Amino acid sequence: MKLEDKVAIVTGGGRGIGRAIALRFAREGASLVVSGPTPDTVDSVARAIREQGGHAIATQTDVSDEASVEGMVAATLGEFGRVDVLVNNAGIIGPTAPVVRVEREGWDQTIAVNLTGAYLCAKHALPNMIERRAGRVINITSVAGLIGYALRSPYCVSKWGMIGLTRALAEEVGRYDITVNAIAPGPVRGLRMDEVIRRRAAEKGQSVEEVEREYVEPLALKRFVDEDDIAAMALFLASEEGRNITGQTIEVAGGYRV
């Protein structure tokens, strides 16, 4: 029970990595606020936690909208009285195309959700942490934030920006005993990665199998990582065991060669 009596917000908590983190945190004793834009998915995760004897609420939240984020934090404080852990996991794939064919709308939406969303959530969750002089912020970035690769420029930029935000926030709030770290997953097995591969294959005129091999080849372990691997690292950083780690970007990527 590494997170007993803690309260955690997980954005993008209705599916994929966010769902895995929410369920892992709940098993370790945390009360959860499962946030996301789709009511059905976040309600399902919150319900699963409650059915297992945990405490959870769901909030329909658009992290790119400040009023929506304020509502999420207000709901958290109203239900549980504090915020101990913020996991900024909400994100979208963004366009798959060369820069010259990326529409401004797609660029703006990717930055708004993936990067501005993390800033807004931190902006509104941190005051409670600062007041109590305790807290954890965990940003889910990507190895795309450590390298640049073709056809995913908006996504890469958003994830690079997340790493910069992580380092800046760590410097700002460390004096309040708040840690801020980023996790950089490599290719993660699941529906999101399947869609990334399909879009890339279509853009490049290759088969899905060829593109999947392109993702596997740079991995020392020659396999994708699992959602639960990311959840395990998030748990470590949220727990007392991670109290002296801050300002770091930790790869969980199967030995991705950058």
Amino acid at the residue 129? M
Smallest CA-to-CA distance from 168 within 247, 63, 252 is with 247
Tell me whether residue 215 is one of the annotated catalytic residues.
no
- For residues 27 and 21, give the distance between their C-alpha atoms in angstroms, rounded to a whole number: 10
In terms of Cβ atoms closer than 10 Å to its own Cβ (0-12, 13-18, 19+), residue 4 is exposed
Give residue for tokens 């007392």. 240
Q: Is 190 left (phi over 0), alpha (psi -120 to 50) or beta?
A: left
Q: Which residues contact 258 (CB under 8 A, 6 or more apart)?
A: 143, 146, 147
**Catalytic pick among 149, 155, 176, 215:** 155
Amino acid at the residue 68? S
Smallest CA-to-CA distance from 64 within 111, 106, 102, 17 is with 111
Could you list the active site residues? 155
